[in-house]
Structure formats: structure tokens, C-alpha cells
């Protein structure tokens, strides 16, 4: 690629990120303080997450007080750039930015062999942040070439707390809210449930449908179908659409194989891996003390965003219970990415099921049920019964039921079950 074209791209991108940071209202993400502590580290910082979740802006906020250069490798003006051209990119950055020691490389996975270039710069004393939206490509290259020299950070779309802050809601301890404030907070949760957390949609909710359909299409086509050379793209898209309409449900590779006439369960497994590595979906395994049982049991699948779920769903009316469960999963995943916890579901031979098992090290820390309609006696009894059965088997005393509006702490079978409304739990 001609050096003049590379330089022009660097100039344009510098203007773009400066305009974006000045024109768009930015908030501090919940992970900012923790990630800021890593910013001075000489290790390579790798921010991973779904496309358009705010990775570039987070990286910009981490570096804005530093003298840094920025290059977006997902820019069509740099299409077909190779690892051999990266020195020309570096030279162009010096021409545009002057001397610098901090470097932000956006959507790095688009350049095969990028890790060798970044590795060399790190040895030369550069402080580097890279972002990427493909977990498998990043993970494989990081583990191969950057072992012990990188910090992996994960970013999700806006949480409910971030959503509320962005819209100017003053956050207080939930128990200190007035009647009016509680009502407005519940209203805000209803908005968030269908808007979702992608920053562009949070800023301009009226563009939600067109924006999310376009984003979803880009992820499927650019990040998966083209990259993995999927021949039967129509079938693949039908599978993705079906999964999105059935998020917070069980999925198995054999069922996918049979439902879509795939050649093998292995093909279904590959398709699911591609969807996972793009951060569109998450697969949660069933908890078992035996690795073999975990491997063969069906998974539960969750979407990256409830706004996408609502936009793409083929159902005539939204399944609020499933949306609630998906929101709980996403919040647990955010908290897990900031700590050391693992997330599972639990099910016994009699189909008693608990939505979430939170494990830290060898200890089960909490068991969580999501029960939108806790006012229904039969529903409440079924959910609590499963919770108590799992508590006995897993020896866990922290039992939580997340509800629409019911709040209480009830004694049950020698233990205690805490019922907490979703809006309040999300603000913890």
C-alpha cells in the first residue's frame, strides 16, 4: 500500500476520534477505574468485546492524558493492509502525531501476523493498547506469542447502571429512593430492556432497529461468514436468527444438526464457536463436579444484548421472563470479567433447574433463580424448590431469587431465600 494513502488514513482517523470525543457525551464505564490501574503497565493491554461496544472510546479515555497515536485497522481506507505494511503505519503515525510512546491499535485482528509487530514494539518500550472483536483469533495469537506479556480486558455494551447514568439519573442506594424515584427507576429499566446497551443506540434510541440490524449483519457477514469461508451462509444465518429468538434457552449441537439438516453435530459445534468468538452469544455449561458430564450436557445460550434480541425476534410478543434472565446473565458476565467467578446452570435428573451457579475457585458462592412472576404461587414454589434442592447438593447458603417487583427474605427448609427486584439487583 502506498505510504501516502496510509498517512491520509492516519490523518483522517485522528480527526475522527477527536471529533467523536468532543461531540459525543462520554461517561466513565464501570470498569474504568480498574482498567486505568493497568494503563501504566508495560504489558500489552488487550480490550476485547463485541463490535461497537465502546472499546475504542474506553481506550481513548485511558490514554487521553498521554501523548499517543491512534490507528483503526477496520477502516476501509486500509483494506488489504498486511503485517508487512505495519512499519509504514508506524512511520505515518510519527509524521502525524510527532514523537509518542503510547499506541492504540483498533480492531487489530484484521491483520494476520499483528502479534509479532506488537511484540516487537513492546520490547522497544512502547505502551500499547489493542482492541479486537474476535475472541478466538485474539486468544490464539495472545497465548502463542504474547504469553506473560499481555493483560486481557473485556468490555460489554452498557450495563443498566451505565445506561441510567448516561441519561442523567442520579444513582442513590436503592433503599434511599423516594416513591417517585423508585417508579422512575423501574421505568428506566423497561426502556433499557428493549433498547439494550450498545452506545450508539443508547445515544439515539430512535435509530435502534436500523442500527442493530446493520450491526448484526456486519458481524455475521464480515466477522464470521467471510472470515471462515462458510459455504451455506443462508443456513448459518437462519441458525443465528433462531438462536437470537430463543436466547436464555437450552441448545445442543445434535438438535441444531437435526433442525437445520446439517451434515454433523461437529458442524453445529463449529457454527456455535464462530458465533461465540464474535461475542454475539455466550454458552453456559451445566454445573457438575465431573468434567465428562459438563461436556455432554446441553448448554444454555444468551445474547450479547437484549436490544438485538427484541429487534430480531420473530415472536409476536416479547418473552419478558427470558429477557430478564438474559439481563441477569449479562450482569453476572460483567462482574465475572472483573473478578474470578465462573457461571453455570444447574439441573438434576428430575428437570429441576437453577438458572445460575456462581463459582469462585472451588466454592459455590451463590445460587440465583430468575422469576419474573413471583406473585404466582405455583411458579414461585417451583423456582424455590429447585433452588433448595441445588443448595443441598452444592452446599451453598446464599440463595437469591430475582423478581419483577417482589422483595422479601423468607425462611425455607432451614435456610433463607432472598427475593430482590431486578432493577435493585442491577444497581448493586
pLDDT attached to residue 329: 98
288 burial type by CB count under 10 A (0-12 exposed, 13-18 middle, 19+ buried): middle
Q: Among positive and negative, which fits the CA dihedral 204, 207, 208, 210? A: negative
Q: Which stretches does DSSP call E strand in 91-185?
A: 102-106, 127-132, 150-154
What residue ranges in 52-182 does DSSP mark as E strands?
68-72, 102-106, 127-132, 150-154
230: closest CA among 280, 275, 265? Answer: 275
The per-residue pLDDT for 109 is 83
Q: What is the pLDDT of residue 140?
A: 60
Position of cell 490501574? 37
Neighbours of 325 (CB within 10 A): 25
- C-beta neighbour count of 251 within 10 angstroms: 19
How far, in Å, CA of 189 to CA of 422, rounded? 9
For 49, list phi and psi in degrees, rounded to 5. Answer: 165, 170
Among the listed residues 299, 300, 290, 294, the one whose alpha carbon sits nearest the alpha carbon of residue 325 = 300
What pLDDT, on the 0 to 100 scale, is given for residue 147?
67
- The full DSSP string for 8-61 is HHHHHHHHHHHHHHHHS-----TTHHHHHHHHT-SSEEEEE-STTSSHHHHHHH
Residue with cell 451457579: 357
C-alpha cell at 93: 503515525
Output the CATH code of domain 3-154. Answer: 3.40.50.300
The two beta strands, 341-347 and 353-360, are antiparallel
The DSSP secondary-structure symbol of 174 reads G
Judge whether 81 and 89 are in contact, CB under 8 Å.
Answer: yes
What's residue 213's pLDDT? 98
* Kind of pairing between the strands at 150-154 and 44-48: parallel
Looking up cell 438485538 gives 308
Rounded Cα gap, residues 75 and 80, in angstroms: 10
Residue 131: closest CA among 46, 17, 54: 46
pTM, whole model, 2 decimals? Answer: 0.95
Q: Which residues on neighbouring strands pair with residue 48, listed in sequence order?
A: 132, 154
Nearest Cα to 325, choosing from 370, 284, 377? 370
What stretch(es) of the chain map to CATH 3.40.50.300?
A: 3-154
Q: Would you state the pLDDT for residue 20?
A: 83
Sheet order of strands, 341-347 included: 341-347, 353-360, 363-371, 399-403, 415-421, 408-412
In order along its 428 residues, the chain shows pLDDT tens digits of 789 999 999 999 999 998 887 888 899 999 999 999 998 899 999 999 999 999 999 999 999 999 999 999 999 999 889 999 999 999 999 999 999 999 999 998 888 888 889 999 999 999 999 999 988 766 665 666 676 788 889 999 999 999 999 999 989 999 999 999 999 999 999 999 999 999 999 999 999 999 999 999 999 999 999 999 999 999 999 999 999 999 999 999 999 999 999 999 999 999 999 999 999 999 999 999 888 888 889 999 999 999 999 999 877 678 999 999 999 999 999 999 988 899 999 999 999 999 999 999 999 999 999 999 999 999 999 999 999 999 999 999 999 999 999 999 999 887 899 999 999 999 98
Amino acid at each position: 500500500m502506498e505510504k501516502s494513502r496510509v498517512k491520509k488514513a492516519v490523518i483522517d482517523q485522528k480527526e475522527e476520534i477527536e471529533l467523536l470525543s468532543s461531540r459525543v457525551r462520554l461517561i466513565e464505564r464501570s470498569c474504568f477505574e480498574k482498567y486505568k490501574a493497568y494503563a501504566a503497565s508495560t504489558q500489552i493491554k488487550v480490550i476485547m468485546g463485541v463490535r461497537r461496544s465502546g472499546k475504542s472510546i474506553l481506550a481513548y479515555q485511558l490514554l487521553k492524558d498521554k501523548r499517543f497515536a491512534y490507528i483503526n485497522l477496520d477502516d476501509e481506507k486500509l483494506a488489504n493492509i498486511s503485517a508487512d505494511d505495519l512499519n509504514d503505519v508506524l512511520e505515518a503515525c510519527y509524521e502525524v502525531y510527532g514523537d509518542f510512546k503510547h499506541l492504540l491499535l483498533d480492531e487489530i485482528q484484521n491483520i494476520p501476523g499483528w502479534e509479532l509487530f506488537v511484540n516487537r514494539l513492546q520490547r522497544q518500550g512502547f505502551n500499547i493498547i489493542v482492541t479486537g472483536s474476535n475472541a478466538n483469533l485474539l486468544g490464539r495469537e495472545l497465548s502463542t506469542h504474547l504469553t506473560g506479556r499481555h493483560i486481557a480486558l473485556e468490555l460489554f455494551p452498557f450495563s443498566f447502571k451505565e445506561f441510567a447514568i448516561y441519561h442523567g439519573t442520579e444513582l442513590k442506594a436503592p433503599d434511599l429512593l423516594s416513591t417517585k424515584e423508585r417508579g422512575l427507576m423501574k421505568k428506566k429499566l423497561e426502556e433499557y430492556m428493549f433498547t439494550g446497551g450498545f452506545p450508539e443506540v443508547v445515544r439515539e434510541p430512535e435509530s435502534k432497529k436500523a442500527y442493530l440490524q446493520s450491526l448484526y449483519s456486519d458481524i455475521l457477514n464480515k466477522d464470521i461468514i467471510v472470515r471462515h469461508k462458510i459455504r451455506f451462509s443462508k443456513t448459518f444465518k437462519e441458525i443465528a436468527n433462531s438462536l437470537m429468538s430463543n436466547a436464555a434457552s437450552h441448545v445442543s449441537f445434535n438438535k441444531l444438526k437435526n433442525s437445520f439438516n446439517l451434515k454433523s453435530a461437529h458442524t453445529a459445534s463449529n457454527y456455535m464457536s464462530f458465533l461465540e468468538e464474535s461475542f454475539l452469544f455466550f454458552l453456559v455449561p451445566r454445573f457438575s463436579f465431573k468434567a465428562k458430564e459438563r461436556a455432554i450436557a446441553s448448554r444454555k445460550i444468551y445474547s450479547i444484548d437484549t436490544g438485538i434480541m427484541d429487534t430480531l425476534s420473530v415472536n409476536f410478543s416479547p418473552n419478558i421472563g427470558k429477557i430478564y434472565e438474559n439481563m441477569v446473565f449479562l450482569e453476572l458476565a460483567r462482574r465475572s470479567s472483573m473478578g474470578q467467578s465462573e457461571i453455570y446452570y444447574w439441573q438434576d435428573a428430575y428437570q429441576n433447574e437453577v438458572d445460575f451457579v456462581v463459582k469462585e475457585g472451588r466454592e459455590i458462592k451463590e445460587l440465583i433463580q430468575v422469576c419474573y412472576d413471583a406473585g404466582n404461587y405455583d411458579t414461585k414454589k417451583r423456582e424455590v424448590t429447585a433452588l433448595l434442592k441445588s443448595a443441598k447438593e452444592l452446599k451453598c447458603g446464599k440463595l437469591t431469587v430475582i423478581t419483577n417487583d417482589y422483595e422479601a427474605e423468607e425462611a425455607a427448609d432451614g435456610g433463607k431465600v432472598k427475593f430482590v427486584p431486578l432493577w435493585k439487583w442491577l444497581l448493586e
